[in-house]
Amino acid sequence: MLKVIIKIFDSILNFIYPNRCVFCQEIMAINEEDCICKYCYTDIDFICDDEEPKLSVFSYDEKTRYAIFRLKYDNQKQYAKVFAKMMYYKLLKIDISKYDYIIYVPMYIKKKKKRGYDQAEVIACELSKLCGIPIENNNLIRIKNTLPQSKVSFEKRSENVKDAFYVKNPSRINNKNILLIDDIYTTGNTINYCAKELKKAGANNICYFTLAKTIYKKDLENN
Ligand SMILES: [Zn+2]
């Protein structure tokens, strides 16, 4: 009986506040849980030719940039669930049994308090629920309140995140294989410094897994 009531309540809620496509805001049909419309599914530039240890779901273009922007700056925390599902579909194509932990590139604690959540953490938690790899929370810490990389020139991005991370409990990382999660891969400086700290703590293999990746012209020419 309770299940029926919850279902009716959900349907009413969905009627008043319908789910919308995370990319184009199109209203989704009731019970359409993926929250990506058919048009966007065909329009998104999914990355298919990448391999471990560097994986990304889609290219970081205008369309995906707006969706990630809304997750980060427009309080659309629920987008993380949709993005985590897209990441999970990618994991279905590889052998994940070797990974001991999911770790995410963490936000500076004061910034997280101001925003109310850390988007990489929320994505990582949702992904962990889907794929079953446990999340190693609050071990990799951001100790510097760095500027957003998008606000820093390419030349200064490495300096901006240098020495920004540390591992609180290295013994838990020693000899572990890690799936390192972040939302965007652009120059790779941020995730590289995280990996460096994890390696220092004794991590075995680290696979970068980002939601979106900037595809440079030279990458396209190489393909
Ligand atoms: Zn759409």
Assign 30 a pLDDT band (cuts: 50, 70, 90): low
Same domain for 99 and 31, yes or no, is: no
Same domain for 60 and 166, yes or no, is: yes
Into how many domains does the chain fold? 2
Report the mean per-residue pLDDT for the chain.
91
With CA atoms as reference, report the closest residue to 54 among 207, 168, 176. Answer: 207
Between the CA of 74 and the centroid of ligand 1 the distance, in Å, is 18
CA distance 142 to 102: 16
**Structural tokens at position 53:** 């240890």
Between the CA of 3 and the centroid of ligand 1 the distance, in Å, is 30
Between the CA of 21 and the centroid of ligand 1 the distance, in Å, is 5
Reported as a single tens digit per residue, the pLDDT across 127-139 is 999 999 999 999 9
Q: What's the pLDDT at 155? A: 86
For 88, 96, 209, 221, the CA distances from 91, given in Å and listed in that order, are 5, 7, 10, 27
Average pLDDT of span 80-101: 96
Q: What is the CA radius of gyration of the chain?
A: 18
Same domain for 5 and 105, yes or no, is: no
Same domain for 30 and 66, yes or no, is: no
Between the CA of 156 and the centroid of ligand 1 the distance, in Å, is 35
Same domain for 31 and 123, yes or no, is: no
Assign 10 a pLDDT band (cuts: 50, 70, 90): low
**Tell me, what CATH number does 126's domain have?**
3.40.50
Between the CA of 223 and the centroid of ligand 1 the distance, in Å, is 28
Same domain for 30 and 73, yes or no, is: no
Residues 6+ apart with CB under 8 A from 1: none
Name the one residue in this structure whose structure tokens are 């309140």: 145
Reported as a single tens digit per residue, the pLDDT across 159-212 is 888 899 999 999 999 999 999 999 999 999 999 999 999 999 999 999 999 999
For strands 101-104 and 206-213, give the pairing: unpaired
Alpha carbon 93 to its chain's center: 18
Question: Domain range for residue 33?
Answer: 1-43
Reported as a single tens digit per residue, the pLDDT across 101-148 is 999 999 999 999 999 999 999 999 999 999 999 999 999 999 999 888
Between the CA of 39 and the centroid of ligand 1 the distance, in Å, is 6
Spatial contact of 124 and 105, defined as CB atoms under 8 Å apart: no
Same domain for 106 and 148, yes or no, is: yes
Can you list the pairs that 116-124 forms with residues at least 24 positions away whose Cβ atoms lie under 8 Å?
116/75, 116/77, 117/77, 119/71, 119/72, 119/77, 119/80, 119/183, 120/181, 120/182, 120/183, 122/77, 122/80, 123/80, 123/83, 123/84, 123/87, 123/181, 123/183, 123/211, 124/84, 124/181
Q: What's the pLDDT at 8? A: 65
Q: Write down the pTM of the prediction.
A: 0.89
Same domain for 74 and 11, yes or no, is: no
Which residue type does 162 have?
Answer: K
Q: What's the pLDDT at 147? A: 86
More confident residue, 149 or 183: 183
Same domain for 126 and 206, yes or no, is: yes
Same domain for 93 and 123, yes or no, is: yes
Spatial contact of 37 and 24, defined as CB atoms under 8 Å apart: yes
Between the CA of 33 and the centroid of ligand 1 the distance, in Å, is 13
Same domain for 3 and 86, yes or no, is: no
Same domain for 206 and 116, yes or no, is: yes
Between the CA of 77 and the centroid of ligand 1 the distance, in Å, is 18
Between the CA of 196 and the centroid of ligand 1 the distance, in Å, is 37
Between the CA of 165 and the centroid of ligand 1 the distance, in Å, is 36
Q: What's the pLDDT at 208? A: 98
Between the CA of 24 and the centroid of ligand 1 the distance, in Å, is 4
